[in-house]
Amino acid sequence: MNIQKIAFIGAGNMASALIGGLITDGFPAKNIWASDVNDQHLTLLEEQCGINTSCDNKAVVSNADVVVLCVKPQAMKSVCEEISATLADKSALLISIAAGIKVESLTNWLGDKTALVRAMPNTPALIKAGAAGMFANENVSQAQKDMAETIMRAVGVVLWIQYEEHMDLVTALSGSGPAYFFKVMEAMEKAACELGLPPEAAHVLTVQTAMGAAKLALESDGTLATLREKVTSPGGTTEKGLAAMQQANIEPMFYQTIKAASERAAELAKDYGEN
């Protein structure tokens, strides 16, 4: 791995996960910097990871080859404008993980020659089981794309997205997706309890079943439909349960779920970006 200097602006959960993943993969802590308005976040990172920290965003990015912007959409404009002059004469790669904020807005704030990658990781990155979609603008070199992959692959799977407009769908599907699965798991656990299963048993069986199904899907060459069919014996219990799901219109429900989250991502661009 080409050893570069990486700066993280924002030191919350996602930044901490990425930093921890990089160090586990052998990236030197001395080459990682982080800034945050919360001193406790920085102190924790110093103690756990041994990286460099500062409350000064401009100082953190001054010598960085890569800057990872781990701030909320509503804070992105002010952070970019704060560091833009410091980065003006550098060829640093900027990676934004903010939902909805488009490359057009980022270049308006940082300069039109800036090498930019939009990334949308998700919370399973906290246990190195994340899924991230990424989009690069035309200023990003192959070496910089490789570096962006190195950072995101430290906590999970990475996929490059060809069209930026699809990033809102990535946000809706994988970015928000863990919450949908948690909701389904909650509903399954609650139903089992209401039908008489002890809560502890309902919880363990629900979580393990979800984990096993996901692992089987990852390791199988078949489609999700094929896997479902293999579990479904004619006239059996699974068939009966699936019929009840169909009657409840589960597919239109999930269509509306993904659509609503995607539309909200687009709204964030209007609320906090520049069009």
Same domain as 208, residue 155: no
pLDDT digit string (tens) for 223-263? 999 999 999 999 999 999 999 999 999 999 999 999 999 99
Is 1 inside any structural domain? no
271 lies in a domain? no
How does pLDDT run across 102-150, given as a tens digit for each residue? Answer: 999 999 999 999 999 999 999 999 999 999 999 999 999 999 999 999 9
- In tens, the pLDDT along 80-104 reads 999 999 998 789 999 999 999 999 9
User: Is 156 a member of any domain?
Assistant: yes
Q: Are 145 and 192 found together in one domain?
A: no
Looking at the fold, whether 129 and 186 belong to one and the same domain comes out as: no
Q: Is residue 83 part of a domain?
A: yes
List, for residues 51-68, the tens digit of each pLDDT value. 999 999 999 999 999 999
Q: Indicate whether 3 pLDDT > 80.
A: no
Q: What is the DSSP string of 172-217?
A: IIIISHHHHHHHHHHHHHHHHHHTT--HHHHHHHHHHHHHHHHHHH
**pTM of the predicted protein model:** 0.90
| pLDDT value, residue 213 | 97
The structural domain count of the chain equals 2
CATH number reported for the structural domain that contains residue 224 in this entry: 1.10.3730.10
Does 125 lie in the same domain as 110? yes
- 149 and 192 both lie in a single domain: no
Provide the residue range defining the domain that includes 17. 6-171
The answer to whether residue 190 is domain-embedded is: yes
| Bridge partner list, 53 | 34
Please check whether residue 128 lies inside any domain of the structure.
Answer: yes
